[in-house]
């Protein structure tokens, strides 16, 4: 996906957000009625001014854009839920599209696995946007106990089968 080239933010604003020179700025967002940056999307991560966070693309499970709000659902490196962030965007340029593109690009495979007895889980492989390492996660459907040993065993078997079939 191609993005219109964002207006280059002031160097000081990028430094303040912690954006390294080695990362390519894809899109920015400012506060409503202001030129103050609230978020910067680069080829490797999303930088949020309000929290001072750098969020890798593989740590964003879901992003929902309902103007002017961007609602992010996050996952930790172990694939478990890590809360969410809500960002109010003023002039967003291509930020929502850039987030969608980068999050989607981090997913290598996402497949629903039938675990029997009406239970299912999503098996997801994602590429770490910094290291390139592939990580797998199992996300059980709502209502299932992710600590149930029987479900864990069945999901592990499905995951092993999928990994073997894909050679990953």
Residue 47: exposure state from Cβ atoms within 10 A (0-12, 13-18, ≥19): buried
pLDDT per position as a tens digit, 97-154: 999 999 999 999 999 999 999 999 999 999 999 999 999 988 889 899 988 999 999 9
Q: Which tokens belong to 128?
A: 């770490």
Percentage of the residues of the chain whose pLDDT score is greater than 90: 55
**Tokens 């039938």 sit on residue:** 114
Span between the terminal Cα atoms of the chain, in Å: 26
Structure tokens at 157: 């078997």
- In this prediction, what percent of the chain has a pLDDT beyond 70? 89
Query: Does residue 19 contact residue 41 with C-beta atoms inside 8 Å?
Result: no
pTM of the entire predicted model:
0.82
Least confident of 22-36, 37-51, 52-66: 22-36
pLDDT of residue 4: 47
Q: Is 146 helix (H, G, I), strand (E, B) or coil?
A: coil
Q: What is the pLDDT of residue 137?
A: 87
- Domains, the chain, with CATH or none: 11-106 (2.30.29), 107-166 (no CATH)
């Amino acid at each position: 996906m191609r993005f219109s080239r964002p207006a280059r933010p002031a160097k000081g604003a990028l430094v303040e957000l912690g954006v390294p020179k080695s990362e390519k700025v894809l899109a920015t967002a400012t506060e409503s009625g202001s030129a103050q940056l609230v978020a910067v999307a680069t080829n490797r991560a999303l930088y949020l001014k309000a929290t001072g966070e750098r969020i890798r693309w593989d740590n964003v499970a879901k992003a929902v854009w309902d103007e002017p709000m961007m609602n992010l659902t996050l996952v930790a490196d172990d694939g478990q839920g890590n809360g969410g962030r809500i960002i109010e965007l003023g002039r967003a340029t291509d930020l929502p599209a850039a987030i969608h593109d980068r999050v989607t690009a981090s997913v290598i495979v996402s497949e629903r696995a039938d675990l029997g007895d009406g239970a299912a889980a999503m098996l997801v492989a994602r590429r770490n946007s910094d290291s390139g390492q592939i990580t797998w996660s199992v996300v059980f459907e709502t209502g299932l106990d992710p600590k149930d040993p029987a479900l864990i065993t069945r999901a592990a078997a499905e995951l092993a089968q999928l990994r073997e079939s894909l050679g990953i």
